[in-house]
Amino acid sequence: MPAPLNLAGRRFGRLRVLATNGRIKFGREQTAWLVVCNCGRQETVAQSLLTQRGWRECSWCQRPECLICGNKVLSDRPRSNTCSDTCAAVQRRKTNQEHYHRRVAADAEFNRRRYQRLTDRMMLDVELAKRVRQIQHASGKRWRNDPANREAIRQYMAAHYAMNRVVIQARRRARLDAMTPEQLAHWRVRIRNYQRLYAQRYRDLIRSDPERHRAYLDRMREYRRRLDWAVKKVF
Ligand SMILES: [Zn+2]
Ligand SMILES: [Zn+2]
């Protein structure tokens, strides 16, 4: 039986020993000590934890921190490195993404083969095909609605129109020719509203630049002057 130690007042890392607190069974029965940690928490620990196991902070401070949010992982989640199911899902996603990026970096054909496998399976599985198409639509919609992609979309549409102008205009012409007079009237109203909105946006844009705004007003004045002159000449 070792001689009883007096640890009161001693420091073990972040722990300061306050006083004995009875006896405790940890392996064998031994002295229990009340300690206070630098974090402010007090707890009672077995003597051998301090003298042999090398405890230098309280059991709370020893808890692992969540890899995602940094909060302590509580004892209801043993062997987990995340504090909650939400953080666990984020961590799983991160791990999967890292794995994916490693695979893609190592193998240029990885994505093409994976997509091929998926389309093969979609041919056989109607439900899967439907689900994949839903996911693709949603992801395309997210991409289109992201303001960061607006310029790319504008450029793509402009290039598409420049390349297919004849076809697009013929298609428009055919659509207009096929309309009933009521549909045509409705179409005219819609187009006029679009044009009004466009002109509004253009004026707002120009107003934000005083130099350009002045030039624009001059141009409009000149236009109206000529219009008056032309009208006078006709009548
Ligand atoms: Zn502590
Ligand atoms: Zn967390």
Average pLDDT rounded to a whole number, residues 15-26: 94
Give me the pLDDT at residue 147, please: 94
Within a domain: 216: no
Strands (E), the chain: 11-12, 15-26, 28-37, 42-46
Within a domain: 177: no
Compute the distance from residue 89 Cα to the ligand 1 centre, in Å: 28
Residues whose beta carbons lie less than 5 angstroms from ion ligand 2: 66, 68-69, 71, 83, 87
Within a domain: 221: no
User: H or E element: which one contains 167?
Assistant: helix 165-177
3-state secondary structure of 21: strand
**Tens-place pLDDT, residues 173-213:** 999 999 999 999 999 999 999 999 999 999 899 999 999 99
Residues whose beta carbons lie less than 5 angstroms from ion ligand 1: 37, 39, 41, 58, 61
Compute the distance from residue 234 Cα to the ligand 2 centre, in Å: 79
Give me the pLDDT at residue 228, please: 84
Say if residues 50 and 39 touch (Cβ distance below 8 Å): no
Backbone phi, psi, residue 37, to 5°? -95, 160
Within a domain: 230: no
Q: How far apart are CA 22 and CA 128, in angstroms?
A: 65
Backbone phi, psi, residue 230, to 5°? -65, -40
Banded pLDDT at 89 (limits 50, 70, 90): very high
Q: Are residues 58 and 76 in the same domain?
A: no
- Answer with the residue of higher pLDDT: 161 or 228: 161
**Tens-place pLDDT, residues 37-88:** 999 999 999 999 999 999 999 999 999 999 999 999 998 998 899 999 999 9
If phi over 0 gives left and psi between -120 and 50 gives alpha, with beta otherwise, what is residue 198? Answer: alpha
- Percent pLDDT > 70 in the chain is 97
Q: How far apart are CA 108 and CA 101, in angstroms?
A: 11
Within a domain: 28: yes
Compute the distance from residue 59 Cα to the ligand 1 centre, in Å: 7
Compute the distance from residue 91 Cα to the ligand 1 centre, in Å: 26
Which residues make Cβ contacts (< 8 Å) with residue 122, sequence separation at least 6? Answer: 128, 129, 132
Q: Are residues 56 and 4 in the same domain?
A: yes
Give me the pLDDT at residue 33, please: 95
Q: How far apart are CA 213 and CA 163, in angstroms?
A: 33
Average pLDDT rounded to a whole number, residues 130-157: 95
Compute the distance from residue 54 Cα to the ligand 2 centre, in Å: 28
**Number of compact structural domains in the chain:** 3
Compute the distance from residue 108 Cα to the ligand 1 centre, in Å: 49
- State the residue for tokens 């921190």: 65
Banded pLDDT at 5 (limits 50, 70, 90): confident
Within a domain: 215: no
Say if residues 98 and 113 touch (Cβ distance below 8 Å): no
Q: How far apart are CA 111 and CA 199, in angstroms?
A: 45
Alpha helices, H only, 41-125: 47-51, 59-62, 85-106, 110-124
Ligand nearest to the CA of 43: 1
- Answer with the residue of higher pLDDT: 93 or 108: 93
- Answer with the residue of higher pLDDT: 66 or 229: 66
Q: Which domain holds residue 27?
A: 1-62
Q: How far apart are CA 65 and CA 83, in angstroms?
A: 8
Ligand nearest to the CA of 38: 1
